[in-house]
Amino acid sequence: MSPDESAVHLGDVSASEFRRAMHRVADLTADYLEQVHAYRVVPRVSPGDVTKLLPGSPPEEPESLDRILDDYKRIIEPNTTHWNHPGFMAYFGITGSGPGILGEALAAGLNVNAMLWRTGPAATELEELTCDWLRQLVGLPPAFRGHINDTASMSSLLALATARQRVGAADIRQRGLAGRPDVPPLTVYASEHTHSSIDKAMIALGLGLEQLRRVQADDGFRLDPAALAEAIAADRAAGRRPIAVVATVGTTSTTSVDPVRPIAEICRREKLWLHVDAAYAGSAAVCPELRELMVGWEAADSIVVNPHKWLFVPVDCSVLFLRDIETLRAAFSVVPEYLRTSEHEATNLMDYGVQLGRRFRALKLWMVLRAFGQRGLQERIRYHCGLARRFAALVQGEPGWEVCAPVPFSTVCFRAVPELPLEEQNRFNERLLAEVNARGPVFVSHTKLRERYVLRVAIGNLRTSMSHVAQAWELLRAVRARLAAEW
């Protein structure tokens, strides 16, 4: 072997081998998306089953890409929970749409680490541009600047860190919180239905879970502004220092919408940071008629919207909008000598968060926004909301079932109401869910509302149509009838 041949041998797979395998990956992915409905949504596996199918130690000798892709097809694909399945109606339904998958593949090819403008000019500028497109699409004012993170959990953590920076005490960045008798407990307020990511942010920021006030919600699962005002007053009277309020537009259990306008008014009066968690429902604001549900969010200091939830962008892609993005930079920017560059006017994405390295997530967002266009996004979101309303009507029209929360978007909370004591009803619904999910064609999740075990159907997948929703309903009815007969 010549030195040149041996160098090629020691490099990556050859260009021709890569091209052939990439074509096969295209076929595998396209076949998968065409056929995904034929799988069970949740595979019939137990913990450890996948590991048993794989060797416990890495291969000593190189393996061919064909062999690896064969194993992908044989072991990985069938043992996956199929989030791209039309019967996936659990948690919040999502879609890795075609344009999004293409963007993800291209980003992997470029393998950009956009920590600095210089290390990723296109990635940096496309991120700024696509975030501004998204801002326009959801009808937020130009004052908001967007920043892409992996998840809403990270976006909310950064939002609360920025709140701490601005409202708390600027020197926390420098001196920390430990051993500081001069810093009172810093309190944050959110509804009892707020996502657990806010709890995690409290932990990570050193504020402590005890300083998260879970304010009581009203009958519609919305934060009660009067209870919020009272909680803030009580904390001030006790010498604590309120710093931020989290309002949720589209809570995880019921998709209820906190009354953002009165909450924003309290925040203005009390000089508190307002963070709006619109991770799921923010996407619905592409439809002007649904923006009514979020009135007041334009007064927030920060808002998180996850295009990877209901805007058909593959996981992960979360956009944090900030009115004052410079405070986020002030909270996190640390520039060692080896990362100094001369483009002082350019954005360096590493300054806006914890991590230095950054994936090129804007590419898939850009491709989705272009390939669907505003009209395409609106049509699909309206269709999903319509499916949810039709499902809710089916439930409501059947004796012995009830819809348990309003349906403002594409998620329905409901339960069977057999004539049994509440605890038995809960067990009945739990069994019902387990048996429906065990059948295979649909996957539904649950929550608990006022001590009631409640089922949730969440529409968010582009492949879901009325026939899948009707199938889910028929399955629920059939399993319920069987269970009732033997209960």
Residues near ligand PLP, by CB under 6 A: 92, 151-153, 195, 197, 248, 250-252, 277, 279-280, 306, 318
Nearest Cα to 103, choosing from 312, 381, 378, 376?
Answer: 312
Nearest to 258 by CA among 215, 301, 288: 215
CA distance 296 to 146: 18
Q: How far apart are CA 364 and CA 96, in angstroms?
A: 10
> Which residue's CB is nearer to ligand PLP, number 283 or number 327?
283
Query: Is residue 224 within 8 Å of 201, Cβ to Cβ?
Result: no
As measured in angstroms, the least distance from the Cβ of 314 to ligand PLP is 13
Render 116-173 in DSSP notation, one character per residue.
STTT-HHHHHHHHHHHHHHHHHTT--TT-EEEEES-HHHHHHHHHHHHIIIII-TTHH
What is the DSSP annotation of 201-230? Answer: HHHHTTS-GGGEEEE-B-TTS-B-HHHHHH
Counting every residue, how long is the chain?
487
Angle at 213 between CA 445 and CA 157, to 5 degrees: 70
Give the C-alpha separation, 201 to 186, whole Å: 13
Q: What Rg value do the Cα atoms of the chain yield, rounded? A: 25
Q: Is the peptide bond before 316 cis (omega within 30 degrees of 0)?
A: yes
Closer to ligand PLP by CB, 282 or 441: give it: 282
One-letter amino acid for residue 263 of the chain: I
Minimum CB distance to ligand PLP, residue 258 (Å)? 11
CB of 194 to ligand PLP, least distance (A): 8
Which residue's CB is nearer to ligand PLP, number 126 or number 304? 304
| Least distance in angstroms from the C-beta of 308 to ligand PLP | 7
DSSP string, 383-428: HHHHHHHHHHHHHHTSTTEEE-S--SSSEEEEEE--SS-HHHHHHH
Q: Which of 212, 475 has the CB closer to ligand PLP? A: 212
In the complex, the smallest distance separating the C-beta of residue 151 from ligand PLP, rounded to whole angstroms, is 3
Which lies closer to ligand PLP via its Cβ, residue 432 or residue 455? 455
205 or 229: CB nearest ligand PLP: 205
Smallest separation (angstroms) from ligand PLP to the CB of 279:
4
Torsional sign, CA 256, 303, 112, 99: positive
**What is the nearest approach in angstroms of ligand PLP to the Cβ of residue 466?**
25
Nearest to ligand PLP of 200, 427 (CB atom):
200
Which DSSP category does 12 fall into?
S
